[in-house]
Amino acid sequence: MKKVIKYNIAPAKGQAILNFNDRRFPDTVELFETNLVEEVRSKKPKQLNAESDLNPDFRNLLIHGDCLSACAYLKSKNIKVDLVYIDPPFASGANYSKKIFLRNGDAENIKNDDSSIGEEILYSDIWQKEDYLNWLYERLLAIREVMSAKSCIYVHLDWHIGHYVKILMDEIFGEENFINDIIWSYRSGGASKESSLPRKHDIIFLYSNNNNNEKEVVINSIMERQYLEKPFMGSKVDENGNYYVDTLLRDVMEGVICRVLEDGSLKEYNTRPVLNLSKERVEYNTQKPEGLIELLVDIATTKGMIVADLFNGSGTAVSVAASMDRKYIGCDIGINSIQTTRDRLVEDKADFDIIKVNDGVKLFRNPAQTTAKLFSLIDGFKTKTELQLGEFWDGGIVGKNGSYAPVKFIGLHERLTKELLDIILEEIYQLQDSSNEIEGIKIIYAHKDLEIDQEYVDKEIRRKRKTDLKVEVIDLNTILGSKSETLFTPDNADVEMVKDGAKYSVKINSYFSSYLKNKIDDYNAKPKKNDDLIDEENETGGGKKFTPIKLSKNGLELIESVQFDTTLREDGVWISNLDLEDKAGIKEKIKAKYVLNTNKFKMKIRNIAGDEIIIDSTAVK
């Protein structure tokens, strides 16, 4: 006789359900105007032979703009890429930043971390999972549109969100086009915490774009064991006396993967993580090792193919692609990423163009810093924590009588659409019970669909009859008014020029940045001991007493780089005189004095936070 045992299944508590009602299915992408900002041409550029130069008319690109805007630009120019590598935000729930160091040439202070004046946020990685999946889904669709029929895509993620994105990839590229998920294991990272195991790997999904062109897709496989005709360093001998190397099984312990090339030689890829003391480190958080990217590019491309990284970050992918005789496209919304990558490519003597997407939003370095600064300019603004609002809201504006208006800010590179408005309205309906404290709702946007206006919002609220709260849709520029100009207070420099025989001597006497001065003042106002700080690699403190930062009288340690344009093209495109470029690493300082063959030039000075000013020679005393 059968016996039935009843039990109750608790409802799922997770956020991300891929068939959730608020999922968006975009079918268009906006195309904005672009400006050619800079052309970089090396005196001795690499030349591919005719057989390898598969795209002879293509110019390597750095695109300063959002991934969506970059894809729209590439599609409008009929540019197709052969390999995409993206290392997007991981939905890790954290802000990622970099330390800022004074350029005073004091290597000992750098070693002791005494020249750091704090950190700058590079990007925010704090999401609601549905928001993240919608955001990435839209970008993956756009990326697919600019991939060639023989192309592949790597998507680099980790445990936070990778399992959800795998399902999105199956939907967008097709389960049949899944090639593999690559596990990048590493020994570094935090120790295991109580009731957990250490997390020591990332996941890299590899898909082809179209399995109908399977023969055209380039996949240079790696065998776990490869046999050699003769012994090499690190090779072993099997039971039959044959020489071999284990390729995939060394990477975790040694951070090395080996491949046997066609000529029988052995190539090693250093896949160790980029730590503080790594030679290739460029002081950009989440930087990936060059050896890992080189291996991925070798697997999926041949010389002359176009490699694109549309979440460019530190620029490792395009830098590696350039060194491997591939064409390349790098795209990032943050100016720090474009600057870091530009300098890496210049050092590698690469040729490329930089273009800027004119999407109508002027950023203060990157979206995370811009958003934070925007809120600081809004009168009466308080955070969601201060107002005890849920995670959905960005904060609120407090009125004179103590009531407040919750604020939902549409991201700087998102649009207020009908679908998104429906999501926001559902959240607003849940605030109805708190309406005694709430005087209304404010939806602030930078971009919106044409049909979305105040009349449309009012009509939707009346139709659904779920709230009597007043909901306002407000343009970002309207709520900021004239205060938006305070976002961009330029630095200033005292520069002089003296004729020196047939040449001209240009000297920077002093430099001042109100932003960096305030940052140093804030740093000094919070005395602390170094044992309050955590070392990235050892997770230990130093125990040294806090030493306040003091600026020199001339302030030259605030300068990271100096460039000169002596070509002065009529269209305003910057052509840097590469012989005059002066870039100070964190252990160095700028020269501050330069000898030119002309008294007509433009001078670009970049500070240690990435802000730039351009000085015309006509303004130099």
| Helix axes 335-347 and 316-323, enclosed angle (nearest 10) | 20
| Position with higher pLDDT, 256 vs 97 | 256
Listed range (145-149, 189-193, 291-295) with the worst mean pLDDT = 189-193
Please give the pLDDT value at position 594: 97
Question: Does 534 have pLDDT greater than 50?
Answer: no
- Per-residue pLDDT band for 98 (boundaries 50, 70, 90) equals low
Tokens 């002879």 identify what position?
Answer: 56
> CB-based contacts of 474: which residues, under 8 Å, 6+ apart?
442, 443, 444, 445
H/E segment holding residue 253: helix 251-254
Question: Does 135 have pLDDT greater than 90?
Answer: no
Q: Cite the DSSP H helix spans in 324-366.
A: 335-347
Question: Does 365 have pLDDT greater than 70?
Answer: no
Question: Does 533 have pLDDT greater than 50?
Answer: no
Q: What is the mean pLDDT of the chain?
A: 81
- Per-residue pLDDT band for 22 (boundaries 50, 70, 90) equals low
Listed range (6-20, 233-247, 391-405, 601-615) with the worst mean pLDDT = 6-20
Ranges of beta strands (E only) in 376-452 are 381-383, 395-398, 404-409, 415-416, 441-445, 447-448
Average pLDDT (398-425) is 82
Question: Does 7 have pLDDT greater than 90?
Answer: no
Question: Does 332 have pLDDT greater than 60?
Answer: yes
Please give the pLDDT value at position 247: 62
Question: Does 439 have pLDDT greater than 50?
Answer: yes
- Per-residue pLDDT band for 113 (boundaries 50, 70, 90) equals low
pLDDT over 70 percentage in the chain: 75
User: DSSP 3-state assignment of 96?
Assistant: strand
Average pLDDT (247-264) is 67
Average pLDDT (30-34) is 86
Question: Does 86 have pLDDT greater than 90?
Answer: yes
Q: Provide the CA 535 distance to its chain's centre, in angstroms.
A: 23
Residue 114 to residue 544: CA distance in whole angstroms: 10
Radius of gyration of the chain (CA): 27
Highest mean pLDDT among 348-362, 368-382, 409-423: 348-362
Which amino acid type is present at position 302? T
> CB-based contacts of 455: which residues, under 8 Å, 6+ apart?
none
Cα–Cα distances (Å) from 380 to 383, 395, 398, in that order, read 10, 10, 5
- Per-residue pLDDT band for 536 (boundaries 50, 70, 90) equals very low
Residue 58 to residue 54: CA distance in whole angstroms: 9
**H helices, E strands: number in the chain:** 14, 30
Question: Does 192 have pLDDT greater than 60?
Answer: no
Residue 585 to residue 110: CA distance in whole angstroms: 11
Please give the pLDDT value at position 12: 46
pLDDT digits (tens, 9 = 90+) for 146-186: 999 889 999 999 888 889 999 999 999 999 999 999 988 87
> CB-based contacts of 540: which residues, under 8 Å, 6+ apart?
534
- Per-residue pLDDT band for 94 (boundaries 50, 70, 90) equals low
Please give the pLDDT value at position 109: 52
- Per-residue pLDDT band for 110 (boundaries 50, 70, 90) equals very low
Average pLDDT (388-407) is 84
Average pLDDT (128-157) is 89
Question: Does 539 have pLDDT greater than 50?
Answer: no
The CATH number of domain 367-484 is 3.40.1340: yes
| Position with higher pLDDT, 264 vs 323 | 323
Question: Does 510 have pLDDT greater than 90?
Answer: yes
Please give the pLDDT value at position 304: 92
Query: Nearest to residue 23, comparing CAs of 105, 135, 113, 153?
Result: 135
pLDDT over 90 percentage in the chain: 36
What token pair was written down for 615? 């000085």
Average pLDDT (337-362) is 89
- Per-residue pLDDT band for 95 (boundaries 50, 70, 90) equals low
Highest mean pLDDT among 8-22, 249-263, 332-346, 446-460: 332-346
Q: Where are the domains of the chain?
A: 37-43+56-91+127-358, 367-484, 489-619
Please give the pLDDT value at position 540: 46
| Position with higher pLDDT, 225 vs 547 | 547
Please give the pLDDT value at position 252: 58
Ranges of beta strands (E only) in 103-262 are 116-125, 147-157, 178-185, 201-208, 225-228, 236-237, 243-246, 256-260
Please give the pLDDT value at position 571: 94
| Position with higher pLDDT, 121 vs 566 | 566
The CATH number of domain 37-43+56-91+127-358 is 3.40.50.150: yes
Rounded to two decimals, the pTM is 0.78
Please give the pLDDT value at position 240: 80
Please give the pLDDT value at position 432: 73
45, 349 Cβ separation under 8 angstroms: yes
Neighbours of 399 (CB within 10 A): 12
H/E segment holding residue 73: helix 67-76
Highest mean pLDDT among 27-31, 238-242, 481-485, 500-504: 500-504
Listed range (121-125, 173-177, 372-376) with the worst mean pLDDT = 121-125
